[in-house]
Amino acid sequence: MTVWLVAACAILVGTVLQRLSGTGVGLVCAPVLALLLGSAQGVLVTNATTTVSGFLIMLAVRRDVDWRRAGVLVCWARW
């Protein structure tokens, strides 16, 4: 039970830092989850958490995106 509570706290802190500064989920969650769950499971859960966090943040800020500018950047990023 305490393992899951510590993991949940690490994920919460990581997602809050991700929203505030743009980095956090991987930097906070990966070490904690790797120590708690083992290296393979910790990285897997960190990747899943990062994906979900990024998707939820995207939903929250999608109205603030300049889609035309984003399209230009994506087109030039291919080269």
Tell me how crowded residue 12 is: count the other CB atoms within 10 A of its CB: 12
The predicted structure's pLDDT at residue 15: 82
Report the distance separating Cα 60 and Cα 31, nearest Å.
Answer: 27
Q: Give this prediction's pTM.
A: 0.70
Amino acid code (one letter) for 32: V
The predicted structure's pLDDT at residue 49: 87
Nearest to 50 by CA among 3, 5, 10: 10
Token output for 57 = 């943040």
47 has pLDDT over 80 = yes
Three-state DSSP class for residue 12: helix
What confidence tier does 58 reach under pLDDT thresholds 50, 70, 90? confident
